[in-house]
Amino acid sequence: MKLWVGLGNPGQKYAGNRHNIGFMAVDRIASDHGFTPWRKAFQGLVSEGRLGAEKVALLKPETFMNLSGQSVQAALAFWKLPLTDVTVFHDELDLAPGKLRLKQGGGHAGHNGLRSIHGHLGDDYARIRLGIGHPGHKDAVAAYVLHDFAKADQDWLEDLLRGISEGAPALAEGDGQKFMNAVSLRTAPPRSSTTRDKPEAPTPPTPTPTAVVAEDKRSPMQKLLDKFR
């Protein structure tokens, strides 16, 4: 069994925030793959189902972001899972919007949700880093992540979430590369190879050579005499 955790803040007020893209990812997986309805458990919401041969539990902590570790710890204790069976979906400022990276272990880079999980359980879990871009200045970060995605973001956001859902069975099987490929097919599809080559420009006609007139070296008297011959 695997435990996949989406990070975000509970309540309708935060539902569309950039900080809640982790919630959005697990919501999409649950919806597309016929998981059970969300139920309250472990200080959060839980939905269960199967991806291929693997049973997966999805968790959305309702402790608010900076206390996410409490909810994850309670779920792990109940199912008696090792931390290596946990994958966390979270927003990533250091990736461009729509980009995704899979990472095992490492630091929390100042992310409050990851910081909380680190504090309660350690760092030996997988992360799906979901790029939301950076506002450009650290003082603007809090307002940026707690603001809804703009209308202009909806196309790439839909492609990203759809790719995650389509790649979820591969991720459950432990095939990270296949998962990443599935996401890439949605977010950066290959260009068509059937594009017709542009027709070559016609070769301009070769200009007809201009006749060369020999220089007339006769004297004026000779020209006059020749005229009356």
- Angle at the Cα of 85 (from 162 to 4), degrees rounded to 5? 35
- Cα-based angle 29, 34, 37 (whole degrees, multiple of 5): 90
Place of tokens 């799906």: 128
From the candidates 19, 33, 90, 111, which is the catalytic residue? 19
Q: Is 19 a catalytic residue?
A: yes
Q: CB under 8 Å to 133, separation ≥6 — which residues? A: 93, 95, 96, 97
In angstroms, the CA 12 to CA 200 distance is 59
CB atoms within 10 A of CB 129: 21
Just list the catalytic residues: 19
